[in-house]
Amino acid sequence: MLVDLTADFFSLFELPRTFRLNLSELDSRYRDVQAQVHPDRFAHATETERRLSMQWATHANEAYSTLKKPLERAKYLLHLTGHDIQAESNTAMPADFLMEQMEWREAVMEAREGGDHHELERLHLRLDNDIRGRYDELGALLDDAQDFALATDRVRRLMFLEKLLFEIDDALASLEE
């Protein structure tokens, strides 16, 4: 099988174009594709075939990486439906969401400065639970309601929250050093 470099990532792995993916199935399909296109299989092929196998393997890796992560998968789905999240150009967010972000960041900063490992873990757990609920909502918006405009807003919010979760993880790691 040759990989169609123009196929969308879902088609590449013969998966439905949905947010709620069976990740075990994705893993299995990825391994199948990689087994067919891995450059080692083309070690004795022509230079052109070796170069193509490298392109196919790279494309499969990019597709897998995108579909494996829920935020990236949501962004990709929105891209496929023609909805640009405008992450770089549109930073406007509702005031209540921004206030919530400021409160979170203040709590993280205070816990980090105070060396309060337990508070950072509590904040991490609370935020992680909030993010999981938001991904459930996003799945309903993308797969069931197909409300791509609202899903775009939710993806932009999740980008903020994922960044905050990373900051909490970073703060926890700095206290463990």
Q: Determine the structural domain holding residue 169 and report its residue range.
A: 95-176
- One DSSP character per residue, 45-80 reads S-HHHHHHHHHHHHHHHHHHHHHHSHHHHHHHHHHH
Total of domains in the chain = 2
- One DSSP character per residue, 74-116 reads HHHHHHHTT----TTT-----HHHHHHHHHHHHHHHHHHHTT-
Task: Kindly report the CATH number assigned to the domain that includes residue 14.
Answer: 1.10.287.110
Are 170 and 105 found together in one domain? yes
pLDDT on residue 86: 78
Task: Kindly report the CATH number assigned to the domain that includes residue 118.
Answer: 1.20.1280.20
Is the whole-model pTM more than 0.85? yes
Query: How distant is the alpha carbon of residue 59 from its chain centre?
Result: 17
> What is the SS3 assignment for 38?
coil
> What is the SS3 assignment for 6?
coil
pLDDT in tens, 79-110: 999 998 877 766 778 999 999 999 999 999 99
With 60 as the cut, is the pLDDT of residue 1 above it? no
Are 164 and 99 found together in one domain? yes
Q: Is residue 76 part of a domain?
A: no
pLDDT in tens, 121-174: 999 999 999 999 999 999 999 999 999 999 999 999 999 999 999 999 999 999
d(CA 119, CA 25): 37
